[in-house]
Amino acid sequence: MTEDLWYKNAIIYSLDLETFMDFDGDGVGDFQGLTRRLDYLHAMGVDTVWLAPFQPTPNKDNGYDIKDYYGVDQRHGSSGNFVEFMHQAKKRGIKVIIDLVVNHTSDEHPWFKDSRSSKDAKHRDWYVWSDKKPSDWNEGMVFPGVQEATWTYDKKAKAWYFHRFYEFQPDLNMDNPEVRAEINRIVGFWLEMGVAGFRVDAVPFMLETPAPGPKNPVYKFSYLRDLRRFLQWRRGDAILLGEANVLPEETKKYFGEEGSGIHLMFNFYVNQYMFYALATSDIEPLKEALEATRIQFPTSQWAHFLRNHDELDLGRLTEEQRQKVFARFGPDENMQLYDRGIRRRLSTMLGNRQQSELAYSLMFSLPGTPVIRYGDEIGMGDDLSLKERDAVRTPMQWSDDKQAGFSEADKLIHPIIDKGPYAYHHVNVETQRRIPDSLLNWMTTLIRLRQECTEIGWGDWQILEINNPHILGMHYMWQGSSLLIFHNFDEKAHEIVLDLEQETKGKLIDLMQNEESIADEEGQHHITLPAYGYRWFRAGDLSHIMQKG
């Protein structure tokens, strides 16, 4: 395989311009600020940055309501600042992925303004209209409790328009060839600006064509193939990273026949079972989730993550499983959202360093590409006094200076966390840089380690049969080299005995500590895992124990 498939072993860092670094002092993060922080990302070992939407927006949904696809919102700087940022990122070998939010636009987009203006308007059919009130007008909401409908009457248009999300986000009509051509232009535009790919927002909804009245949705997967083809014509190594929280059996259609669809997809399914395992130390469902989402074609890949800018969605768990996760990670009603999620950051949920390390080590070791959420590398907290998902969108804590070194302004887009154990006085980059065993330095080591373990991104894998209900053991194999990785979800230490059918004195090299495990006379390894411990080993060729899934 060639090195061109860079996404197989990338380390993706996700951030929102708004809350990362404010250079011009208006209280909102910007490209000049981010550019000055590229060295920080580079030093951590990050090689790909995913930027949340930064285009002009009324900003009623954290920028996921775009009113001009070809610009930069002036709060974040100019197009010139964007290009400077791209140049500096490239100099450091950092790739940039941006959000492609085309399931819907803002209702302030000129296309929608024109569309609602009259039945004969040029853009009328760019959106989805119904003259009559659809019988299912208040069904299928993505944000139950916050969103009241999916069809809303528009007085100007004298018709009902469809919006899968909030009412200020009208859905584009993807069946309209003019809309598809425009999306290609958007993709082509940003590729020319140097981006390495797109995080495609709300993929399933983008593929459906809503019509009034209840029916089973029809998803047009062929569109993904068309989009992919266009992308690849323009730039051979650009990628699509899809947001599709769907059941495992559905995912194949998104990756496409022989990998002809989306390159990478977030593994929401495994994500939920990771949290279930962390909450209960029962790892059986996680093992099943990993098997259920085994990649079918070698160029396809999962993106694994712990937290993102939304709520932790637990909608795929059973009610009983979900209640267990709520009980452990989001017991107060104020921590929960839309009946199915938790609006907290990783550190506040887990509440201790050991489990944070366990969670990150696990996520980095799963078959796929790891995605880090800004602030998690220093264990930032959340602010539950903010509304909905804003709780997890507070500004980056750089230092213990005023406003955590994020901004000179007195009033910020979201307030800095300045009280309690997660306040910026204690939790910030500058302090953690100086402390050798800080979370930040640990994370930097983990990133380096993951980059050296190409077996994970490329290789075959199997779950090892270990006689212990709390320990997940994974074996990876790539080009004659094996990795064995163990995670102990229990609060107690455990010893496991491994028979790798190696010769006596066969060695396993510990990749994190200056140690090795040597097989005893019977050829067995005795490996100790501390409470919530994890160990990564490299061995020679263990292909004889690999059963292909």
Instruction: Decide if 43 contacts 93 (C-beta within 8 A).
Output: no
Active-site residue identified among 16, 24, 73, 201: 201
* All residues at 6 or more sequence positions from 521 whose CB lies less than 8 Å from its CB, including other chains: 504
Q: Measured at the alpha carbon of residue 317, what is the angle toward residues 394 and 327, in degrees to the nearest 5?
A: 60
Residue nearest to ligand NOJ (CB): 64
Distance CA 527, CA 484 (A): 11
Instruction: Decide if 169 contacts 64 (C-beta within 8 A).
Output: yes
CA torsion 290→293→297→300, rounded to 10°? -90
Distance CA 521, CA 506 (A): 10
Nearer to ligand NOJ, 200 or 498 (CB): 200
Look up 243 and say whether it is catalytic: yes
Determine whether 235 is exposed, middle or buried from the number of CB atoms within 10 Å of its CB (0-12, 13-18, 19+).
Answer: middle
Site string for ligand NOJ, 172-201 (x = CB under 6 A): -----------------------------x
Count of residues engaged in binding ligand NOJ, rule: CB under 6 A: 10
Q: Nearest distance from residue 242's CB to ligand NOJ, in Å?
A: 11
- Compute the radius of gyration of the chain from its Cα atoms: 24
Distance CA 142, CA 234 (A): 33
> Between the CA of residue 547 and those of 202, 285, 463, what are the distances in Å?
35, 20, 9
Sheet holding 471-478, edge to edge: 460-463, 471-478, 481-488, 534-539, 507-510, 516-518
Site string for ligand NOJ, 246-275 (x = CB under 6 A): ------------------------------
129 touches ligand NOJ (CB under 6 A): no
Q: Nearest distance from residue 143's CB to ligand NOJ, in Å?
A: 8
Our measurement of the distance from residue 116's CA atom to the centroid of its chain's CA atoms, rounded to an integer in Å, reads 34
**369-373 and 95-100 strand pairing:** unpaired
Nearer to ligand NOJ, 202 or 358 (CB): 202
Q: Nearest distance from residue 412's CB to ligand NOJ, in Å?
A: 20
Residue 247's Cβ-side half-sphere holds a number of Cα atoms within 13 Å equal to 3
Q: Taking every pair of C-alpha atoms in the chain, what is the biggest distance, in angstroms?
A: 84
Nearer to ligand NOJ, 169 or 321 (CB): 169
Site string for ligand NOJ, 8-47 (x = CB under 6 A): ----------------------------------------
* All residues at 6 or more sequence positions from 465 whose CB lies less than 8 Å from its CB, including other chains: none
Nearer to ligand NOJ, 243 or 383 (CB): 243
Look up 311 and say whether it is catalytic: no
Amino acid at residue number 330: G
Nearer to ligand NOJ, 163 or 324 (CB): 163
Instruction: Decide if 506 contacts 482 (C-beta within 8 A).
Output: no
Residues 397-436 that bind ligand NOJ (CB under 6 A): none
Residues 362-401 that bind ligand NOJ (CB under 6 A): none
Q: Nearest distance from residue 169's CB to ligand NOJ, in Å?
A: 6
Site string for ligand NOJ, 153-172 (x = CB under 6 A): ------------x-------
Residues 197-216 that bind ligand NOJ (CB under 6 A): 201-202
Q: Nearest distance from residue 59's CB to ligand NOJ, in Å?
A: 12
Q: Nearest distance from residue 372's CB to ligand NOJ, in Å?
A: 16
Q: Nearest distance from residue 202's CB to ligand NOJ, in Å?
A: 5
Distance CA 537, CA 479 (A): 16
Site string for ligand NOJ, 499-518 (x = CB under 6 A): --------------------
Distance CA 175, CA 197 (A): 23
Nearer to ligand NOJ, 202 or 380 (CB): 202
Active-site residue identified among 243, 376, 383, 390: 243
Query: H or E element: which one contains 329?
Result: helix 319-329
Nearer to ligand NOJ, 169 or 356 (CB): 169
Residues 50-109 that bind ligand NOJ (CB under 6 A): 61-62, 64, 101
Nearer to ligand NOJ, 28 or 477 (CB): 28
Residues 271-330 that bind ligand NOJ (CB under 6 A): 309-310
Q: Nearest distance from residue 470's CB to ligand NOJ, in Å?
A: 33
Residues that bind ligand NOJ (CB under 6 A): 61-62, 64, 101, 165, 201-202, 243, 309-310
The residues annotated as belonging to the active site are 201, 243
